[in-house]
Amino acid sequence: DIVLTQSPATLSVSPGESVSLSCRASQGISTSIHWYQQKSNESPRLLIKYASQSISGIPSRFSGSGSGTDFTLSISRIESEDFSVYYCQQSYSLPRTFGAGTKLELK
Amino acid sequence: QIQLVQSGPELKKPGESVKISCKASGYTFTNYGIYWVKQAPGQGLQYMGWINTATGKSTYADDFKGRFVFFLETSASTAFLQINNLKNEDMAAYFCTRGPYYFDYWGQGVMVTVSS
C-alpha cells in the first residue's frame, strides 16, 4: 500500500499569513494526489484534484503543486474559515490511502 | 444537485450488527462507484473499500475484510454498509463518497456508537 506522510502535524498561524502543507508518498505516484479540507463535525471537502487542478467553488487562495513523491498544498492569505484539518489522498493504486492530516490552528 | 444522504446515528452493543445506508441523487448511480471511509473519534480518514455500482462487486481494504459488507439496492440508488459482530473499535463515523479517483461528493457521515 502507498503510505502518505503529511507534515507538519499541526501548524499554528495567524489570519492573513500564507502557508504550505506537505504530503510525501512512499513511492512515485505521478500527480495522483488530491487534497481535502475537513472542519470539525463535517464531511471532508475536495479542494484540489490531481495535485494542482482547481475545483469549482473553492477559493483561489488554495493551490496545489508537486509530482512524483512530493506534494504541497498552499494557502495564501489565510482566513478564519480555513482553520481545519487538511488531508491528502492518493489514487495511483488501490487501496486508496489518506495521509494522517495537518491541523491548521489559530496562533 | 448531486447528493449522498446517509442514515441516522446508531447505538449498538458489542456483538450486534448495524446497517448504514447511503442514498444517491442527482446523477446516474451506476456510473460511479461508492467508496466507504471510517473516521474514529479524533482520528484521521481510513479507506475501507468500495462497491462497483454497475456490477455489485465489492473490494475491501485489508483491515475491513470479514465483518464488513457492502451491498446495493440499485433500484433505489442506495448503497449499504453492514458491520457484523460489532467491536468497541468499530465506534466511528462512517462516510460514503463517490469515486473512483478523487472523492467529490460525500455523505454527511453516520456515527456508530458501540457500548454495552
What is the β-pairing status of strands B68-73 and B78-83?
antiparallel
pLDDT value at residue A78: 97
Interface test with A, best of B103, B104, B108, B110 (most A CBs within 10 A): B103
**Which grid cell sits at B50?**
468500495
| Å between B90 CA and nearest CA of chain A | 18
HEC sequence for chain B: CCEEEECCCEEECCCCCEEEEEEEECCCHHHCCEEEEEECCCCCCEEEEEECCCCCCEEECHHHCCCEEEEEEHHHCEEEEEECCCCHHHCEEEEEEECCCCCCCECCCEEEEECC
Whether residues A96 and B95 touch (CB distance < 8 A) is answered with: no
pLDDT value at residue A87: 98
- Closest CB to A44: pick one of B45, B46, B61: B45
CA distance A85 to A77: 17
3-state secondary structure of A50: coil
Q: Per-residue pLDDT tens for A73-89?
A: 999 999 999 999 999 99
| Å between A91 CA and nearest CA of chain B | 5
CA distance B78 to A21: 36
pLDDT value at residue A72: 98
Mean pLDDT taken over chain A: 97
Interface test with B, best of A92, A96, A98, A103 (most B CBs within 10 A): A96
Confidence of residue A100 (pLDDT cuts 50, 70, 90): very high
pLDDT value at residue B64: 98
Q: Per-residue pLDDT tens for A11-65?
A: 999 999 999 999 999 999 999 999 999 999 999 999 999 999 999 999 999 999 9
pLDDT value at residue A5: 98
| Å between B47 CA and nearest CA of chain A | 6
pLDDT value at residue B93: 98
pLDDT value at residue A48: 98
Quick check: bond before A8 cis, omega within 30?
yes
CA atoms within 13 A of residue A57's CA, in its CB half-sphere = 3
Whether residues A50 and B102 touch (CB distance < 8 A) is answered with: yes
Mean per-residue pLDDT pooled into runs of 10, chain B (116 residues)? 98 98 98 98 98 98 97 98 98 97 98 97
B75 touches chain A (CB under 8 A): no
CA distance B95 to A87: 15
pLDDT value at residue B24: 98
